[in-house]
Structure 1
Amino acid sequence: MKEISPSKTYRVLEPGPIVLVSTMDNGKPNVMTMGFHMMIRHDPPLIGCVIGSWDHIYQALRKTGECVIAVPGLDLAETAVDVGNCSGDRVDKLQRFGLKTRPAKDVSAPLITDCLANIECVVVDGRLVEPYNLFILGAKRLWVNEACKEGRMLHHLGDGIFTVDGGRLDLKERMVKWRHLP
């Protein structure tokens, strides 16, 4: 075994697929790419998201308390990387990258219709924002795009290296302790 810096821990405990986060602030939509998130609870569904104070969306999320988390498929891999490489304070990223949107039902942030799924969220706990940039979001609505042909998701391992979802392994019959969960 070879020891490496603990600062690289995120490369082995990758939290989930790369997502796009959209907000609306003063009538202006914005989007960013995010890789640091986690499910916290099933019911009610809570999601933890780390969004740094250096990100333009950070201020909009603090101010409005709402966002949309959109899950892109592999077909949007290059777009997701490109969205993450520029700032919404200088460019309209939705327009620049041709992302299609539609209004959400419960939040002002737009749904990104090119994505596999969209989750309308509101900040339910901001106590960890100051020390850790950690927003606790409550999922209000979940939209799934059944028209997407590409269903594989993208997972960031650091330094621009990604893994892609592949096949599935169905072990439902062995999950006897968790059958009560939806």
Structure 2
Amino acid sequence: MKKHNWPVENVRHWLEPGPIVLISSRWQEQDNIMTLGWHTILEFSPSLVGCMISAGNASFERIRQSGECVINLPDVTMADTVAKIGNCSADTTDKFAAFSLTAEKSQQVSAPSIAECHANFECRLYDDTMIKRYNFFIFEVVAARVKPEPEWPQTLHYAGDGVFRTDGEVIDRKKWFTKVS
């Protein structure tokens, strides 16, 4: 089958590999939640995660000032909530209240975790050198909590234009991996 040209501004449809996350933050006693799809693992130890947070987002300055956040992993049951959070403003909406989410005390950071999410990864700003130019934050995960079940939650992946896809089946190829991680 012949391939056809694809608009370069829409490559995220194919390359957005990571699950959608909800970033919770706190600055000056104000909590916020934002939906984020632009993140990547940068290092195993220390555990570093890079996140591109638009400067136009209310969370940008809150996270920049506080130097911390929580990366919360929702599952497919939260699809409507994830979409709605991504399409409302912190200036007019208390997102915890509006979406009936439980702000849970975090272990290592002041930003709240979201109890309804499958996992919570508490982060501190590790490197801020790319924020000014690229809005790219590098965080160190300083605490992590994950629900024991399901082992592989069905997560959401954004394809752009309001369309999400979900994970597929788990394929185990451990026998081919000879390096110990």
User: Which TM bucket (shorter chain)?
Assistant: over 0.9
- Give the 5 Å matches for 1:48-63: 48-63=50-65
Measured in 2, the distance between the counterparts of 1:43 and 1:29 equals 29
RMSD: 1.4
Matched residue, 1:174: 176
From the superposition, tell whether residues 150 and 38 of structure 1 become closer, same or farther in structure 2 (CA, over 3 Å): closer
Where structure 1 has 5 or more consecutive residues not aligned to the other structure, the ranges are: none
**How far does residue 17 in structure 1 lie from its aligned partner after superposition?**
0.3
Measured in 2, the distance between the counterparts of 1:82 and 1:109 equals 21
Matched residue, 2:88: 86
Are the equivalent residues in 2 in contact too, given 1:121–1:141 (CA < 8 A)?
yes
TM-score by length of 1: 0.94
Equivalent position amino acid for 1:164 in 2: T
Measured in 2, the distance between the counterparts of 1:98 and 1:116 equals 16
**How far does residue 148 in structure 1 lie from its aligned partner after superposition?**
6.4
From the superposition, tell whether residues 176 and 150 of structure 1 become closer, same or farther in structure 2 (CA, over 3 Å): closer
Matched residue, 2:70: 68
1:33 to 32, 35, 43: 35
Per-residue Cα deviation, 1:93-131 (whole angstroms, up to 9, x for no partner): 111000112110110100101001000001111111111
Are the equivalent residues in 2 in contact too, given 1:15–1:36 (CA < 8 A)?
no
Measured in 2, the distance between the counterparts of 1:117 and 1:58 equals 22
TM-score by length of 2: 0.95
Matched residue, 1:151: 153
